[in-house]
Structure 1
Amino acid sequence: MTGCYVGVSGWRYRNWRGDFYPAGLRQRDELRHVGATMTSAEINGSFYSLQRPSSYAAWAAETPDDFVFAVKGGRYITHMKQLREVETPLANFFASGVLALGRRLGPILWQLPPRMAFDAEKVGHFLSLLPRTHGEIAALGHGHDEKLTPERVRLEIAPDASPGRPVRHALEPRHPTFDSPEAHALLAAHDVCMVIADSAGTWPTMSDATSDFRYVRLHGEQELYASAYTDESLDRWAAQCRAWLEAGLDTYVYFDNDARGHAPHDAVRLLERLR
């Protein structure tokens, strides 16, 4: 069954408190509030550092059964190593607890730095390393190094998942050389989704036809990370989402215009149009 998953990029923002989050809501209950009002969220703490298995398990427990998390791949892999010699860092990332999400595990997002131009050999090798099932995540995770102590490792597949349960990947490049037939063909060959990013013109917006799902990141229409989306813009995005869904494409949309607190409100407004 085709699904539409709409939410926010991260959920712990001080300026949302007393606004999107009702006054007096405990910080520990903020994700529950997101789960009650949206259908998905990006975990972006995983971009900055390896998270703990206990955190992933808690996030799963705090959200509805049909809620989905996208997990942002580590910047150590994408920004510091720039996709080179990342076999062990990938093992560390996947051993750190993502399997605890079980069936709530949605796409893995790999955001590339703006300075990284398209290199077919480097990108192709990286894409070939990515695990495509929960079983492959577990197998890859066994290659983790001593940076992960035993309590920081989770290689067991969750009871509500299975070794063969698929795992999807999405790539968000920010260099214009990725907006080429060669780059799109490479992602399509590896069945990796090219992210459609709206960034107030800061980075290119890629047309996407590289996988059997769509992944959209809305960083701000007029001002990066800050401006809200107008009713007319949300109407257009809703129409585009409906077209993808009618074509049988699962659709993931995340609002990242969080600086002034617009992201959660815009996510709810888009969901209202889709419902």
Structure 2
Amino acid sequence: MPEAKQANRATPAKLAKPAKSTPSTNLRIGIGGWTYAPWRGTFYPSDLTQSRELEYASRHLTSIEINGTFYGLQKPASYEKWYQETPEDFVFSLKAPRYATNRKVLADAGETIERFFASGVLLLKQKLGPINWQFATTKQFDREDFEAFLKLLPASIEGRKLRHAIEVRHDTFRSPEFIALARKYKVAVVLAGDSDYPQIADLTAPFVYARIMGTTDKQAKGYSTSALDAWAARVRQLAAGTTPDDLETSAAPPAKATARDVYLYVISGFKERNPAAAMALIGRL
């Protein structure tokens, strides 16, 4: 390979060893996506070729939430490529297609859900983490409507167990009835942190799915030291199966305190700082 092209590749020294979870709990910390121009020169080395961004990101984070799946089906070859480029213990979460959740009658989403899982998702094998089903801010809670939807979510496909999280963004979901429904079907209610969305930190599944959205350009790591320390402490509590006192919940009875996996993604906010915030949390945990 000519020297000019060699200079355009990250050296092995720049690709750090994969970040690890703590031995006692499965903690996954990451960001949304891996392609974002302002990350070049801030998160990614300036001489790293774009085709190696996922390879690099997956060795500095422990998970990534794929957002492209929200907007349309991906090709099987893409899932295979993502699997090959990441470490064995890396995990992806996927945002489910908006066509399944952005509809008036959720019971009609069956075909869309089936197409999604038939599109190549399982090619991620053991690296397939939770599926995030995100709803519009205008979608209100209706028990019959939502239970019909939850019944459509497969617990497993081809012997592989699946994990589902539901991201709701309307105050009507802050109710014990909704929490009871989520617990019945063992789906996690996405914990929205540092945002204008309703915060529902009730524990409803064997895992926790959090999305924190408060990074700012005023902090080199997106969050202040005290804020990062606070989120690290919350993750430890959530992993132990207890809800931190400073997070908002519904009036539902608390769940039994039992160890849970935690998936936390630094999303939105001042996006340029999100990788730094995620790595800072990994360092604390």
| TM-score, structure 1 as length reference | 0.84
1:263 pairs with 2:274: yes
**Amino acid corresponding to residue 234 of structure 1 in structure 2:** L
Question: Does the 8 A contact of 2:215 with 2:271 survive in 1?
Answer: no
- Written as runs of structure 1 = structure 2, the 5 A alignment for 1:21-170 is 21-80=44-103, 83-135=106-158, 163=159, 165-170=160-165
Match of 1:252 among 259, 263, 276: 263
Deviation per CA, 1:163-205: give whole Å up to 9, x if none. 1x321100110000101000111010010001101243x1111
Amino acid at match of 2:100: I
Larger radius of gyration: 2
Counterpart secondary structure, 1:106: strand
- Seen in structure 2, the aligned counterparts of structure 1 residues 73 and 123 have a Cα distance that, compared at 3 Å, is same
Shift of residue 82, structure 1, vs aligned partner: 6.0
The one-letter amino acid paired with 1:210 is: T
Matches within 5 A, 1:222-233: 228-233=222-227
Asked if residue 181 in structure 1 is aligned to residue 176 in structure 2, the reply is yes
Alignment RMSD, CA only?
1.7
Q: Does the 8 A contact of 2:140 with 2:170 survive in 1?
A: yes
Q: Is the 8 A contact 2:215 2:270 kept in 1?
A: no
Q: Distance in 1 between matches of 2:202 and 2:48?
A: 39
Aligned to 2:5: none
Q: Which runs of 5+ in 2 are unaligned?
A: 1-23, 242-258
Question: Matched residue pairs, number?
Answer: 242
Do residues 172 (structure 1) and 172 (structure 2) align?
A: no
Separation in 1, partners of 2:156, 2:172 = 30
The whole-number CA distance in structure 2 between the counterparts of 1:189 and 1:98 is 25
Question: Residue in 2 aligned with 1:213?
Answer: 207
Q: Does 1:3 align with 2:26?
A: yes
Q: Percent identity?
A: 43
Structure 1 residue ranges (4+ consecutive) displaced by more than 4 angstroms after TM superposition: none
Q: Which amino acid aligns with 1:175?
A: H
Shift of 1:84: 4.2
Q: How does 1:195-214 map to 2 (within 5 A)?
A: 195-200=190-195, 202-214=196-208
Q: Which residue of the partner structure matches residue 243 of structure 1?
A: 237
Unpaired segments of 5 or more residues in structure 1?
A: 136-162
1:122, distance to aligned residue in structure 2 (A): 1.0
Deviation at 1:83, TM superposition (A): 2.5
What's the offset of the Cα at 1:222?
Answer: 6.9
- Distance in structure 1 (CA, Å) of the matches to 2:212 and 2:100: 23
